[in-house]
Structure 1
Amino acid sequence: MKTIKAFAVSLLLCALTIVGLHLYSGRGFSAEGKAGTWVSDAKSQSGSTLKKMAADENAVLIFGSSELRHGQGSGFHGDTIFDGADMDPIYVGKAGYQSLTHAITLGAVGSQAANKKAVLIVSPQWFKENGVKSTAFEAAFSEEEYIALLENPDISQETKDYINGRLQNIMADNETMSEKVKKAREWYQPKDDNTAEQLGWLEQKKADFHKVLLEEKNNYKVMAEALMDGISNHRSKESGAKLSQATWEQLRKEAETEGHKLSDGNDYGMFDSVYKGTYQTLIANGKHKNPKYTLDSMEFSDLECFLSICREEGIEPLVVILPFNGYWYDYTELMAEERSTFYEKIRCIAEDYGVQCADLSGNEYTEYYFEDNSHPALKGLVDLNEAIYEFYRKDKTE
C-alpha cells in the first residue's frame, strides 16, 4: 500500500511539474531586459519564442553570428548600451549562423514582427565557395522554424524552392537531416488540390502533433538554458530612454581609453592578450596565409534570399557590412584591393533590393576597432550599435 501511495505521489508531482513547465515556458520572454541580448541556440531556434518577443513594437530582430557574443559585459556591447533604452534588440544567432539560417528564421517569425524592421550583420568571412559549412548549418537548423516558413503564405514558392534546393545540397551527406526536411515538405508545404494529394486524416493528426511537440520541446530548451544563464522570464522595465548623440561620443572616448590599455602592444589592431595567446605564434610560423574567399560564394545568393524574404514579409532591413581587420588580412596576403570587391558586391546586392546599408568597411585600419582578426570591439562595437540604433530611430517622430 505504501508503495502504491508513493508511486501515486510521484506521478502527481511529475504531472504538476510538467504542467508547471508548460505554463512557465508558454509565457515566453519579453524583448525587454537581458533576454533580448541573450545569445542562445535555444532562443534562436525557437520560432514560438521569437514570435512572442518580436510582437513588442519597440523590438528589432538583429541577425548575426559570432560577433553577437564577443564583447559581452565590456560596456560597449548591446547588453549594456541598450539596457534601459527605448529600443529592445532581439539577438538571433551565434557562431555558425549565416544568411541562409537567418532567412529561414525570418520567414518563420517575420509576420509577427510588430516593428517591421530587421538587421542583418554581414561578416566578410562568410564568403567562401559553398557559403555556410554544412556542419555549422545543421547545428543551427531549426525544424520548427523551417516548418513555419513552409506554412507561411507570404513567402513565395520561388523562395521556398530556393531554400529547399540549398537544404538538399547542404544535407546531402546527412541522411537523418535529409529525411526530416523531406518529411517536413511532405507534411507542411501547402499543396495544390489539382496536382497533389492532401494528407489523410491520420497523417494530418500526426503532422499536427509533431509540430506541437517540436514547439514544446524548444520552449523547454529555452527555459532550461535561460535558467542556467540567469536570464529572467519577465519584463525588467516599463519605459525606455532615448540614446543621444552625446551618449555615443562618450562611449567612443571610453573606448579610446580602454583601447590604450588593451591593444597598444601589437601591430595587428587586436587585443594584446588575444595576440599573445593565439596570433603571435601563428604569425611566427607563417600560418593562415591565403584564405579562400570568393566572389562566386553561394553566400551571396543566400543573402539575396534573406532580402527577398524581407520584401515578401514587408520588413525593412538594414544590412551592416563589417570590415576585415586590415592588418591581419594584409599578413594573410588577402590584400585591400581584393577585400574591397567583397564589400562592393554586398553593396550592389543591397542597392538592387533598395536596402539601406550601414557600411563599416572603411574601418579596416581604425585604431581600437577589433578584438582579434575579425570581431569588432571597443570603437567597432560602438559604431555597430549606433548604426543599429539610428536605423531603429529613423522615421520616429517622438
Structure 2
Amino acid sequence: MSKKKLFMAIGPLMVAICLVIVLLFSPFKWTSRPSEKAIHQSASSMSINVIKGNSLKNTAMGTGKYLPFFGSSELSRINALHPSVLAQKYQRDYEPFLLGAPGTQSLAQFLMIQSMGKELTNKQVVFIISPQWFVKEGVSDAMFSLYYSPLQTYQWVLTHKEDSEASRYTAQRLLDFSSVKSDTLLNKVLQKMADGEELSSTDIKGATFQHNLFSQEDHLFSKFAVRSKQKRIDKAEKQLPNVYNDEQLDQLAVQLGSKNTSNNPYQISNKFYDTRIAPVESSLENSQKKFNYLNSPEYADFQLVLNQMAKENIKPLFVIPPVNKKWSDYTGVSQEMLKDFSIKIKQQLTSQGFKTIADYTDQNDVDYFMEDTIHLGWRGWLALDEDLQAFLKTNPSVHYEIDNDRYLTTDWQEYHP
C-alpha cells in the first residue's frame, strides 16, 4: 500500500485522536451547557456516565425543574405508578431525576451529593434506603468500582482538605477499593488524608490537574450512551386515569399487580419469577435465615451521606422499603431482624435531625406493594407518591446536629437495637 493510500485510510482516525487529546489537555475549560433535551433524557436514564459525571446532573439541579431521587435498582422498575410516570401524567412542577442504579450504595451516593454542592443547598430530595445494602462486608469492590467516579473523588479531595474525623474516615474507606488504589496519585493523597496529614502544594496541583482532566472528559462525552427510559414512561402513562384519584389509582395498582404476578404464589412479577426464581426456587427455601443487616460498614458510609446533607442544609424524604413477606417466609429472612434494622437506621436519622421518614417496613404483606422480592411495586410507588406530595407541600425547616463521634465508629456499625 502506498503512503498516500495508507494516510487516506488511517489519517482521519489519527486526526480525530489528536483532536481529542488536545481537547482533553487544553488549559481552556470546555463548559458548553447540555441541551434541555439531553438533560431530560438523562433524568430517567440511570446511565453510568450520568452517575459518575457532573455535567448533566449538576446542570439539571441548577434549573430547579428536577427533583433528585437517590436510590438503586428499585428506580429502574418503571410501571404506571412509578414517580416519573405520575409526574409526567399529572403535570407536576418537577421531573424526577433518577440518581442510582443496581449496585449504587451509600459511598456512591455520597460522592454524587457532594459533587453537586450548592446546587442542592436548601433543596428537597428523595433518598431510598435499601436494607440489602447493609450486609457484613458493605458494598463490594466490584459494585463500588463499577460506579466509582475519579472526577467526583478528586473534587472531594480538593474541597475537603481540612483534617476532620469524617475526612479521615472517607479517605481510609476509599482506600479499601481496588479502583482507588490503582491510581498512584490518589492513593498517596488519600493516605495522607487518612493519617491526618496536610496536603502539599504538589499534591494539590496534581489533584487539580487530574480533576480538570476528568472534568474536560465529562463535558465532552457525558451526553453519549445515555439511554432514556422515556418510551417506557410514555407507554406506562397511557394506563393512568386522566384525573388523579387515590381510589382509582389504588384499584389500578391492584389490577396491574394481579395481572403481572399471576404465575407464582409470592406476588413477584412474572418475568422476574421466570428468569430469576423458578430455575433455582427449590434451593432457596430457608436459604436466607442467617441474613443480617445490623452489622455493616454501610452504617458509617451512610453517615457520610448525612454529613453532606447537613452541610448543604438539604431536606430529604428518606424511604425505607419492606421485604416481600410472602418471599421472606419462604427463604427464611427474619422479619424481626428487618424491624430492628428499621429501628437502628431511624435512630441514626432522627437523633441527628433527619425526621422526615417514610418507613414501609410494616407494609411487607400488603398485596402488590412490592413488584418482586425487595423492590417497590404498584401500591408501594403509590404510597410513596402520597407521602411525597405531602412532603413537598410542607417543605419542612431542618436543624441538624451531626454526631460523627458515634455514627462513624465500629461500635455503631455492630450495634444491635
Is TM (by shorter chain) over 0.5? yes
- Could you say which residue in structure 2 is the equivalent of 1:313? 312
Conserved in 2, the CA contact under 8 Å of 1:108 and 1:152?
Answer: no
Q: Distance in 2 between matches of 1:116 and 1:332?
A: 40
1:28 is the counterpart of 2:26: no
Distance, in Å, in 1 between the alignment partners of 2:100 and 2:108 is: 9
Partners of 1:255 and 1:379 within 8 A in 2: yes
The aligned residue for residue 253 of structure 1 is: 251
Q: Which residue of 2 aligns with 1:75?
A: 80
Conservation of the 8 A alpha-carbon contact between 1:99 and 1:299: yes
The residue correspondences of 1:1-80 to structure 2 (distance < 5 A) are 10=12, 14=16, 26-28=32-34, 30=36, 33-70=40-77, 72=78, 74-80=79-85
2:83 and 2:385 in contact (8 A); partners too: yes
Q: Distance in 1 between matches of 2:114 and 2:281?
A: 42
1:267 CA displacement: 2.2
Aligned equivalent of 1:285: 283
**Aligned amino acid, residue 288 of structure 2:** K
- Structure-2 residue corresponding to 1:358: 358
Instruction: Report 1:81-100 matches (<5 A).
Output: 81-83=86-88, 84-100=91-107
What is the letter of the counterpart of residue 303 of structure 1? F
CA contact (8 A) 1:35 1:231 kept: no
Q: Is the 8 A contact 2:172 2:190 kept in 1?
A: no
Name the SS of the counterpart of 1:42 in structure 2: helix
Preserved CA contact (<8 Å) 1:60 1:392: no
Determine the structure 2 residue equivalent to 1:275.
Answer: 273
Q: Identity percentage over the alignment?
A: 23
Shift of 1:35: 2.8
Shift of 1:128: 0.6
Q: Which amino acid aligns with 1:257?
A: Q
Give 1:100 deviation, angstroms. 1.7
Cα distance change on mapping 1:332 and 1:114 into 2, 3 Å: same
CA drift at 1:164: 0.9
- CA drift of 1:317 comes to 1.8
Q: 1:116: how far off? A: 1.9
Offset of 1:86 from its aligned partner? 0.5
Structure 2 regions of 5+ residues with no counterpart? 232-241, 397-417
1:352-381 CA deviation, whole Å, 9 max, x = no partner? 121111112121011012222111121112
Shift of 1:55: 0.8
Q: What is the distance in 2 between the residues matched to 1:88 and 1:187?
A: 41
TM-score, normalised via structure 1 length: 0.80
- 1:192-223 deviation digits (Å, cap 9, x = unpaired): 9xx653228xx82x544422221122334421
User: Conserved in 2, the CA contact under 8 Å of 1:271 and 1:371?
Assistant: yes
Label 1:5 to 1:321 Cα distance change in 2 as closer, same or farther (>3 A). closer
Shift of 1:265: 4.0
> Could you tell me whether the CA contact under 8 Å between 2:120 and 2:312 is conserved in 1?
no
CA distance 1:34–1:256, change in 2 (3 Å): farther
Tell me the distance in 2 between the aligned counterparts of 1:178 and 1:154.
Answer: 18
1:12-41 CA-to-partner distances (Å, cap 9, x unmatched) read 984998699999983225497443222111
Which of 387-396 and 300-309 deviates more?
387-396
Measured after TM superposition, the shift of residue 255 of structure 1 is 1.1
CA RMSD of aligned residues (A): 3.8
Whether contact under 8 Å (1:62, 1:121) holds in the other structure is yes
SS in structure 1 of the partner of residue 373 of structure 2: coil
Does the 8 Å contact 1:108/1:145 carry over to 2?
yes
CA distance 1:76–1:99, shift in 2 (3 Å): same
- Count the aligned residue pairs: 375
Corresponding residue number in structure 1 for 2:336: 337
Aligned to 1:214: 214
Look up the match of 2:200.
197
1:161 is matched with 168
Change beyond 3 A, Cα 1:390–1:142: farther
Q: Tell me the amino acid that sits aligned with residue 312 of structure 1.
A: K
Query: Equivalent residue for 1:240?
Result: none
Match for residue 145 of structure 2? 138
